[in-house]
A and B are shown apart, each in its own frame.
Chain A
Amino acid sequence: MGRPVAIIGSGQTKHGRRFDVTYPELVKEAVDRVFDSTGISPEDIDGVVSGTMPSMMEGVALTHFYFADVLRSVGKPILKTETCGSTGVSLAITGYYWIASGMADLVLVVGSEKMNEGDSQATMTTVVEPFYQRYFISGAPGIFSMQSQQWSVHYGIPEERVRAAATKLSIDHHNDAFDNPYAHIKKKLTEEEVNNARIITYPVRLWDVCPNSDGACAVIFASEKMAKKISKNPAWVKGVGYSGEEYWFGDSDKVVWQCAIDAAKQAYDMAGIKDPRKELDVAEVYNPFTFQELLYYECFGFCDFGKACDETLKGTFAKGGELPCDPSGGTLCTNPIGATGLNRVAEAALQVTNQAGDHQIPGAKLALAHAMGGVDQYNGIMILGSKL
């Protein structure tokens, strides 16, 4: 095991349609905020980690070079990490490794995306195998519709029950987003509006799907020595997990989602967590689709397999429930992809340091942050705690 690592501050931009600034200027907004919030100077940083979802999302490749100046990376080692949707958690884990290894004491980690400048689904489809699979995978919605459809049939959950649980998640998260100053889509929705919304990829409808967001997130990771020196209230990394499956979309089981189960197990083992539902106080689960969030509850051991709909409808995972999930509104309301996983990490850090403001879960001491990538073959998790 490496050295202890802490998060000493984060900076999120205003997320949304950001045609008011260039892409590097958007990244600068997050970087400026993290330096303001921690009070440290860019000169103190030993290394910089930067990442986006496929670089061509905004028509400019090698984005960490595009951002060299705004990242304040001149004269410093810089690493690029890119794992599709899980980029943000991969970035956090890269920063963690760098400090845990003893090779750095302060690392700036930045994720970003400006999805409204291109066509997000057209870009994402270039991730898919070109000879055979690209013709049938209709971007992210097609993949996750297949997955949730197979899941509900496998466990014999009536379609109406799955719809009801997904609708509750959509209404709750879009409402929770009002309490998060950085959230993109905030909306009071009725069951009728969600159930009758336009179909994107059946059974997924408009309000089951995350938006295209522009935004950036910056987080500073610190060694124990530096965290104690600089911060009165650091969030400590208690566990990390990352797991991948085979490349071929049809080779792995979509219902028993092994990489999600394994990533959680790695992180729990490292953090010494035996019963995640009891021990975790809050979870920022990657939920670009309402239906997908239900699968994660099961894969992460928050409830038994096949029981996510029942537990969701009972309010187990809502604010005030046994294990509140995505009190920030989550990815469903804000999805600048390269930043999204890092937003989850930043939100988890805010929660365990009692700085989450209106969406603070009272007394939260242990939080899970998660993101998914690849086509659906990658899952990554970071667990943060209030104590070393």
Chain B
Amino acid sequence: MEKKSEYDILTDKVAIPYEIAAGPTWTRFFEGFRQEKIYGTRCRKCKRVLVPARSFCPRCFVDTDEWIEISQEGSIVSWALTEYEYYGMPTKPPFIGALIRLDGTDSNFLHLIGGFDLSDPEFVRKTVKNGMKVRAVWNKEKKGHIMDIKYFEPVK
């Protein structure tokens, strides 16, 4: 291996466990995941349906207490095929991250596109198109976690 410097290098690792409070809105949203439901909230002022559910509308700054079950189908707004890996990456490449506009909503939902072979970028490029219809595919075992949805697959 190429020597980085004529001087010494100290090796260190910062690993700190976290407990991140989910609060009432996230807790309710992920409770829905356990039942294979996706929830959003509607802003009473601007009428936008935001998904995932929010406790307030970031534009109108009013509380959003109207919960709505959201369609599990939507269309692709944009996507990127990832072919590289960084330390501790939670999802292993290759994978497609995508912004998905779930039917009847007014914001883009970020998740994975999958259900087909991702090993050939040329094949992926020809297969995945903006505007393409996709549908949520759930994992059998639910953890009340964003990865309870395995990915969104193209609707045949």
Name A residues whose Cβ lies closer than 8 Å to a Cβ of B: 17, 19-20, 56, 59, 119-122, 125, 130-139, 141-143, 145-147, 149-150, 153, 198-202, 204, 246-251, 254
What separation, in Å, do the CA atoms of A146 and B80 have in the docked complex?
Answer: 5
* B82–A138 touching, CB < 8 Å: yes
- B107 contact from A56, A146, A250, Cβ within 8 A: A250
Pairs A–B under 8 Å by Cβ, sample size 17: A19-B4, A122-B87, A131-B146, A132-B52, A134-B90, A135-B90, A135-B91, A136-B110, A141-B82, A145-B80, A201-B84, A202-B125, A249-B99, A250-B110, A251-B58, A251-B107, A254-B99
* A142–B80 touching, CB < 8 Å: yes
Chain A residues lying within 8 Å of B108, measured Cβ to Cβ, are: 249-251
Chain B residues lying within 8 Å of A249, measured Cβ to Cβ, are: 99, 108, 110
Q: Given that A17-B4, A134-B90 are contacting pairs, would A150 and B77 also be in contact in the complex, using a CB cutoff of 8 Å?
A: yes
Could you give, for residues 53-88 of chain B, a 1 whenever the CB lies within 8 Å of some chain A CB and a 0 otherwise? Answer: 000001100000000000000000111111110111
Q: Given that A146-B98, A149-B79, A202-B81 are contacting pairs, would A137 and B110 also be in contact in the complex, using a CB cutoff of 8 Å?
A: yes
Chain B: minimal CB distance from A78 (Å): 24
- B20 contact from A131, A135, A141, Cβ within 8 A: A131
Chain A residues lying within 8 Å of B138, measured Cβ to Cβ, are: none
* A136–B83 touching, CB < 8 Å: no
Name B residues whose Cβ lies closer than 8 Å to a Cβ of A: 4-7, 9, 12, 14, 20, 22, 26, 30, 50, 52, 58-59, 77-84, 86-91, 93, 95, 97-99, 107-112, 121, 124-125, 130, 146-147
Chain B residues lying within 8 Å of A150, measured Cβ to Cβ, are: 77-78, 99, 130
Chain B residue at smallest Cβ distance from A247: B58
Chain A: minimal CB distance from B41 (Å): 13
Chain A residues lying within 8 Å of B111, measured Cβ to Cβ, are: 136
Chain A: minimal CB distance from B62 (Å): 15
Chain B residues lying within 8 Å of A125, measured Cβ to Cβ, are: 86, 89
Q: Given that A139-B86, A146-B97 are contacting pairs, would A199 and B12 also be in contact in the complex, using a CB cutoff of 8 Å?
A: no
Chain B residues lying within 8 Å of A146, measured Cβ to Cβ, are: 78-80, 97-99
Chain A residue at smallest Cβ distance from B3: A19
* B146–A135 touching, CB < 8 Å: yes
* A119–B97 touching, CB < 8 Å: no
* A122–B130 touching, CB < 8 Å: no
Closest 3 CB pairs of A and B: A250-B108, A150-B78, A145-B80
Q: Given that A136-B97, A249-B110, A250-B108 are contacting pairs, would A149 and B86 also be in contact in the complex, using a CB cutoff of 8 Å?
A: no
What separation, in Å, do the CA atoms of A248 and B55 have in the docked complex?
Answer: 13
- B97 contact from A56, A120, A138, A199, Cβ within 8 A: A138
Task: Give 7 A-B pairs besides A135-B91, A200-B83 with Cβ atoms closer than 8 angstroms.
Answer: A122-B86, A135-B112, A150-B77, A150-B130, A199-B83, A201-B80, A202-B83
Q: Given that A122-B86, A201-B80, A202-B125 are contacting pairs, would A136 and B58 also be in contact in the complex, using a CB cutoff of 8 Å?
A: no
* B86–A201 touching, CB < 8 Å: no
Chain B residues lying within 8 Å of A198, measured Cβ to Cβ, are: 83
* B124–A19 touching, CB < 8 Å: no
Chain A residues lying within 8 Å of B77, measured Cβ to Cβ, are: 150
Chain B: minimal CB distance from A72 (Å): 24
* A201–B82 touching, CB < 8 Å: yes
Chain B: minimal CB distance from A289 (Å): 11
- B87 contact from A56, A119, A134, A254, Cβ within 8 A: A119
- A250 contact from B83, B109, B146, Cβ within 8 A: B109
* B84–A141 touching, CB < 8 Å: yes
* A142–B82 touching, CB < 8 Å: yes
What separation, in Å, do the CA atoms of A248 and B64 have in the docked complex?
Answer: 16
Chain A residues lying within 8 Å of B95, measured Cβ to Cβ, are: 136, 138
Chain A residues lying within 8 Å of B78, measured Cβ to Cβ, are: 146-147, 149-150, 153, 254
What separation, in Å, do the CA atoms of A249 and B109 have in the docked complex?
Answer: 9
